[in-house]
Amino acid sequence: MKALEDYTWPGNVRQLQHLIERLVILAPGGRITAEVVEEAIASSNSSQQASDTLADTQTEQIRKVLAATAVTRARRPNSRY
């Protein structure tokens, strides 16, 4: 409980809910220990940082392509406008 209480939860309730679900499913022997919680939190943070990095990379790449092609607005394929 202390590890859960001490964490700042940047993802708010949704992040806590997902972590608890993961702990219930993956806890060795059905026992959730402080070590298991800390590992899950660290893993969750790593996954979130990787997602942010990928999203940032994709956004930056799209901006570069739009700038290189002098496109000011992206549109759907097969769009008339």
Given a cut of 60, whether residue 37 has pLDDT beyond it is: yes
In contact, 65 and 57? CB cutoff 8 Å? no
In contact, 66 and 72? CB cutoff 8 Å? yes
At 74 the pLDDT is: 62
Whole-prediction pTM: 0.47
At 40 the pLDDT is: 82
Q: How far apart are the C-alpha atoms of 4 and 37, rounded to whole Å?
A: 7
At 18 the pLDDT is: 85
To the nearest whole number, what is the mean pLDDT of the chain? Answer: 75
At 1 the pLDDT is: 84
